[in-house]
Amino acid sequence: MRSETDNRYAVILGQAQVVRSETKSDAVDEDGNVIGATDHGHNHSETVVNYVFNEKGQLTSATGRTVGTSNQRVATSTRVVDGYEEDGETVKYKWVVTGDTDQDGVEEAGEVWGTENQTMKSVTDNKYAVILGQAQVVRSETESDAVDQDGNVIGVTDHGHSHSETVVNYVFNEKGQLTGATGRTVGTSNQRVATSTRVVDGYEEDGETVKYKWVVTGDTDQDGVEEAGEVWGRRTRR
């Protein structure tokens, strides 16, 4: 990460006091270049903190907010058959990385994994208490949302939706030492995922009993790659 902070000062009783602090932070690549908004590993944030002093030069309050964006390239998943339940008839399923043909979790030569951008936008509001002349964060409230390529929040019924609200409370003693913290996150998400269809896969050794396998609905050549002319079946997973 690379960050830059600009401080604004006011002179109170002959002392320079920081009354506003503005910090910008960016993730950078191995060459020190800022990672672009649509690239994997992007992370950008802007933090502003305002400080209030009384006529004696004493800090009386502070407010702060951080606005940030991040982006990750993440693998998509496909539902596949994972055998049968004990009754021998009810199909069990599992989710695997799309294009991971041997399902070993390693992207190898010849495999083309499905991926998509996951871009998040977050806003954090911090509430402060002045303890022994220092501003301490006593409550942090963060809202995060997945956004599309135009920066618009993805709706709750749309593919890629992700929303979370996090609250953290901090407890300090009279010496200004942190003694405890509690936190909670509540979130929702939504993904459109490929559906599967059972198709004939030959016959058992007796030559009469039909064998079946499950493939992605609409994957006509059954190669796990959605190609031109194919319309894959999808459903919502929340």
What residues does each domain of the chain span? 2-68+119-183, 77-113+195-237
Q: What is the pLDDT of residues 206-221, one digit of tens each?
A: 777 777 777 767 777 7
Cα 13 off chain centre by: 47
Decide: 8 and 16 in contact? Cβ < 8 Å: no
* pTM, 2 dp: 0.72
Q: What percent of the chain has pLDDT over 70?
A: 92
CA distance 203 to 200: 8
Q: Is the pLDDT of residue 183 over 80?
A: yes
Contact 72, 38 (CB under 8 A): no
**Among the listed residues 115, 109, 112, 82, the one whose alpha carbon sits nearest the alpha carbon of residue 100:** 112
pLDDT band at 238 (very low <50, low <70, confident <90, very high): low
pLDDT digits (tens, 9 = 90+) for 73-123: 887 777 777 777 777 777 777 778 888 888 888 888 888 888 888 899 999
More confident residue, 121 or 195: 121
Say if residue 187's pLDDT is above 80. yes
What pLDDT is recorded for position 236?
Answer: 53
Answer with the residue of higher pLDDT: 25 or 84. Answer: 25
Q: What is the pLDDT of residue 8?
A: 98
